[in-house]
């Protein structure tokens, strides 16, 4: 749809024309095809049948705690037919971003997970920083903490060992001339079952940005690099792609930013009321968070198409 988005329920006779109009479907993971360690009922069948009917399917997630391999294993366990090459998480995409866009010549100071370290190493980028980094000494010691002279970029992803000392080390690296500053994503919370949530990477990134007094370049949705990364490897055409997600501010916004068709599924974070509020706001920027269509669950596609 050009111009205003419709936010229409996708059902009955609308399903087949939409799916016939695309060659490729990009799925967010958490809240869309699974929740935590449980597949959304019917989701594996939908995705497996889409692939059998000739569609290209990709898994596009802001979560930086797993490698492509770890995602492929989880997908297989839950009954999805998927290969590593179809998975685009921010651990992998950040490594690709540093290598192909930044053409980084040096090491990374990594606030992140062992999975991020693996993806960096897989593209030949050395890193330092994974694991606990407890504080010791006093302010003048912190300001003069030992730095690796080969570090030329700071990369911030999800890190359960985030600490004052890591924040300080990032500030000291970013105070050096020419140091790159990249974040995986800005999600403020990771939602869990039962309405609970834990702090997301956006919190850690905000802390480092406040210290550094400058903004990081982020790789994850809604920034278009995630889509560009898939499109360049598989030769996609944006007007033949559908982006499916549960968050208006990341998934649907990515689709809008890249000119894809968009489908909101209600098994995760955002609601139809959220989408309608954006639609009725009269704010141009918020129109990008209005999906073309919504479904209760991606399982609703099953009886209509197959």
Considering Cα of 117, then 182, then 222, then 273, what sign does the dihedral take? positive
Check residue 167 for interaction with a copy of itself (CB under 8 A). Answer: yes
CB of 207 to a copy of itself, least distance (A): 4
Tell me whether residue 300 is annotated as binding: no
> Is 221 annotated in some ligand binding site?
yes
Active site residue 23: no
Q: How far is the CB of 212 from a copy of itself (least distance, A)?
A: 9
Q: Does 198 bind a copy of itself (CB under 8 A)?
A: yes
By CB under 8 A, tell whether 177 contacts a copy of itself. no
Counted residue by residue, the chain has a size of: 306
97 within 8 A of 182, measured Cβ to Cβ: yes
Interface pick for a copy of itself out of 51, 81, 161, 224 (rule CB under 8 A): 161
Question: Quick one: which of 142, 228, 271, 287 contacts a copy of itself (CB under 8 A)?
Answer: 142
Applying CB under 8 A, the span of 12-20, 79-87, 156-164, 227-235 interacting with a copy of itself comes to 156-164
246 is in an annotated binding site: yes
- Smallest gap, in angstroms, from Cβ of residue 274 to a copy of itself? 14
Helix (H) or strand (E) holding 265: strand 261-265
Give long-range contacts, CB 8 A cutoff, 24+ apart: 131-138.
131/161, 132/161, 132/163, 133/161, 133/163, 133/165, 133/166, 133/169, 134/163, 134/165, 135/163, 135/164, 135/165
Residue 271 contacts a copy of itself per CB under 8 A: no
Question: Catalytic residue at 20?
Answer: no
User: Which range of residues in 188-196, 231-239, 260-268, 269-277 is near a copy of itself by CB under 8 A?
Assistant: 188-196
For residue 7, give both structure tokens.
């936010």
- Residue position matching structure tokens 């959304």: 40
Selected binder of a copy of itself within 40, 46, 171, 301 (CB under 8 A)? 171
H-helix or E-strand spanning residue 191? strand 189-191
HSE, side-chain direction, 13 A CA sphere, residue 245: 28
Q: b/e for 235-265, b at 16 or more Cβ within 10 A?
A: ebeeeebbbbbbbbbbbbbbbbebebbbbbb
- For residue 130, state whether it binds a copy of itself (rule: CB under 8 A): no
Residues near a copy of itself, by CB under 8 A = 36, 132, 134-135, 139-140, 142-144, 159-164, 167-168, 171, 175, 188-190, 192-193, 196-200, 202-204, 206-211, 213
Active-site residue list: 28, 30
Residues tagged in the binding site annotation for substrate: 221
């Amino acid at each position: 749809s050009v111009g205003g988005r419709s936010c229409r329920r996708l059902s009955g006779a609308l399903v087949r024309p939409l799916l016939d109009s695309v060659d490729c479907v990009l799925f967010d993971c958490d809240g869309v095809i699974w929740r935590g360690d449980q597949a959304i009922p019917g989701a594996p069948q939908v995705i497996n049948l889409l692939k059998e009917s000739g569609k290209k399917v990709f898994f596009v997630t802001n979560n930086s705690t797993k490698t492509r391999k770890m995602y492929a294993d989880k997908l297989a366990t839950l009954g999805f037919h998927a290969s590593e090459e179809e998975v685009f998480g921010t651990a992998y995409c950040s490594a690709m971003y540093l290598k192909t866009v930044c053409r980084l010549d040096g090491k990374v100071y990594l606030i992140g997970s062992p999975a991020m370290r693996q993806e960096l190493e897989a593209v030949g980028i050395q890193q330092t920083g994974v694991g606990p980094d407890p504080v010791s000494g006093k302010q003048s010691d912190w300001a003069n903490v030992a730095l690796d002279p080969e570090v030329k970029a700071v990369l911030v992803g999800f890190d359960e060992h985030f600490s004052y000392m890591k924040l300080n080390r990032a500030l000291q690296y970013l105070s050096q001339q020419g140091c790159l500053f990249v974040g995986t994503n800005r999600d403020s919370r990771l939602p869990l079952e039962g309405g609970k949530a834990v702090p997301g990477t956006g919190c850690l990134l905000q802390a480092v940005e406040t210290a550094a007094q400058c903004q990081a370049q982020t790789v994850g949705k809604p920034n278009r690099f995630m889509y560009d990364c898939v499109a360049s490897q598989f030769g996609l055409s944006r007007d033949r792609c559908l982006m499916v997600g549960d968050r208006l501010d990341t998934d649907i916004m990515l689709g809008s930013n890249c000119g894809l068709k968009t489908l909101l599924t209600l098994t995760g974070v955002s609601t139809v009321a959220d989408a309608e509020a954006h639609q009725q706001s009269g704010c141009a920027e918020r129109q990008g968070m209005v999906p073309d269509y919504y479904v209760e669950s991606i399982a609703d596609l099953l009886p209509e198409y197959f």
